[in-house]
């Protein structure tokens, strides 16, 4: 066996391994959830015509700064954010029943 044949055989084995790795990566990317989660919390318009999150079935939490009760909701982008019991994001200062700092 010449040096060229040995090199070709080694390269062939490397390419086979790379193909296997590429297939595994492709399968894991296809199985990974998309950036926009289908499990996003539903948004609804309340009686004030404000968009709020429906907190039904969401994980309860308590704001560590104010002690206000609330819930964790998931946005369309997949980010978890805190909302108050009415469904308003807690960082909004003009929400009804907001606790002043």
- Cα separation of 95 and 79, whole Å? 21
CB atoms near residue 37 (< 10 Å)? 14
The domain locations on the chain are 1-32, 35-101
* Model confidence pLDDT, tens digit, residues 18-33: 777 777 776 665 554 4
Cβ atoms of 80 and 49 closer than 8 Å: no
* Model confidence pLDDT, tens digit, residues 34-82: 444 458 999 999 888 899 999 998 999 998 888 899 999 999 888 999 9
């Amino acid at each position: 066996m010449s040096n060229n044949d040995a090199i070709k055989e080694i390269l062939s084995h490397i390419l086979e391994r790379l193909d296997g790795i590429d297939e595994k990566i492709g399968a894991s990317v296809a199985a990974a959830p998309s950036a926009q989660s289908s499990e996003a919390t539903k948004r609804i318009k309340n009686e004030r015509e404000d968009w709020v999150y429906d907190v039904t079935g969401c994980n309860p939490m308590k704001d560590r700064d104010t002690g206000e009760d609330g819930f964790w909701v998931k946005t369309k982008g997949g980010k978890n954010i805190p909302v108050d019991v009415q469904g308003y994001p807690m960082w909004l200062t003009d929400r009804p029943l907001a606790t002043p700092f």
